[in-house]
Chain A
Amino acid sequence: MKKIDPIIILLISLALLLFSLFLLKQSTIELKSQNDILKETKILANEYSTLKNRWNNKKKIISTIEKIIKQSRLKDIDMRTNKKNIIIDIQKISTRDIDRFVNKILNANLIILKLNIKKDSLYLEIGK
């Protein structure tokens, strides 16, 4: 049987080690890139769901408005919704009631598109 030169074995094992290092390096770079994407996706998802929940949650917007209306104990409130907005139209309202109602609306996370306050009337358009 022909004997393999130990130097050849050494060179082959060195080549194997270098190849394994190359593969490991490549996979580490890929892993880092994938981890960065994962991390960014987590941050984006968190930011997206927080903002969407705060400003673009239709159910939440409607329930908030309904709650404010209920608490205000105001009658004759004309509230109508269309595809994009919720319109609140209140006629014959006292200045005090306007202040209270508008304060509550401003303190909630609602997108105010239009606001018209007069001495005895209030018109609001809220985005949904």
Chain B
Amino acid sequence: MNVLPNLFEEFIDIENLKFYAKKIDENRYLGFAYDELKILDSIKNANLNINQIRNIHFGQIELEYFKDDQNSFFIIEDQIFGYIDDILVKIPSSINIENPTKIELDKIELSKDTIAINSSSKYIDNKTAYTISIIFILLALLNFGKYIANISVIDKTPIQIEKIKTDSKMLSTSLQTKSVIKRFKKLYKKQIKLRELLEYILLYKQHNKATLYSIDYKNNKFIFKFKDISTKKIKRYIKKKYKIDSISQKDNIVTIGLSI
């Protein structure tokens, strides 16, 4: 097939032509060059729609069956055709041919040698259109498969979420759970602060051998009472890390108020 254009090129302008080859013998082929647009125009001129045409055949191949040694001329619908040097040609009406064989087209048993006419686009031929269609359909099927897999996972997720909530005894809504978590974190932070503050004050007591008279803690407030210590010194020590709410001295007792 690939050499056909080169063979025709020597004799005709092959631009816009398509080619077809039929094997007629060992190492012998019959080559055809045809113009799709001309065929389409003929179909149009015959008031036919391309979709009504199943196959397009070559007269050269189909009429060969009727050719014999006595007569190589046929009449088909008032048109005379004949084989001259084994090539089918249309005989002008002015030439008188005696007793041509009358052929009724409906009765011809057609061969399998057909060509497909691409009537829709000059940019894409039928074979390419079918190939691309198959690729598109396969891709679409792949997508549908992935879609079904996704939907299956999506359907299972709420059940998984419910199971997690039940197993961990979570509250009914995430908002409620988040609120409780926030409360817990706040509480945890406060309890850490409480322990840090106590440790800081007790460190002072330990390093300065001070007497801690009492510790009172409620509502996030501490009241420490020290005995026999320097108010200035402990004030300076606490201020390094904490804000003092109140500090007072009565007799030899220093009372310090702190918040966490």
Residue ranges of A at the interface with B (Cβ–Cβ < 8 Å): 1-7, 9-10, 12-14, 16-17, 19-21, 23-24, 27-28, 30-31, 34-35, 37-38, 40-42, 44-49, 51-52, 54-56, 106, 111-119
- 125-146 of chain B: CB within 8 A of chain A: 126, 129-130, 132-134, 136-137, 139-141, 143-144, 146
Counting residue pairs across A and B whose Cβ atoms lie within 8 Å, the total is: 150
Closest to A107 in B: B195
B121 touches A38 (CB 8 A): no
A106 touches B195 (CB 8 A): yes
B217 touches A51 (CB 8 A): no
A116 touches B133 (CB 8 A): no
Closest to A56 in B: B184
Q: List A contacts of B216 (CB < 8 A).
A: 115-117
Is B232 positioned at the interface, with any CB of A under 8 Å from its CB? no
B165 touches A41 (CB 8 A): yes
A113 to chain B, nearest CB (A): 7
Residue ranges of B at the interface with A (Cβ–Cβ < 8 Å): 51-54, 118-121, 124, 126, 129-130, 132-134, 136-137, 139-141, 143-144, 146-147, 150-151, 153-154, 157-158, 160-161, 164-165, 167-170, 174, 177-178, 180-181, 184-185, 187-188, 191, 194-195, 198, 212-218
Closest to B149 in A: A27
A19 touches B140 (CB 8 A): yes
Q: List A contacts of B214 (CB < 8 A).
A: 116-119
B218 touches A113 (CB 8 A): yes
A51 to B179, CA, bound (A): 13
B217 touches A114 (CB 8 A): yes
Q: List B contacts of A5 (CB < 8 A).
A: 51, 119-120
A23 touches B154 (CB 8 A): no
A34 touches B157 (CB 8 A): yes
Q: A37-B161, A115-B217 are in contact. Are A55 and B129 (CB under 8 A)?
A: no
A40 to chain B, nearest CB (A): 7
B181 touches A27 (CB 8 A): no
A45 to B154, CA, bound (A): 20
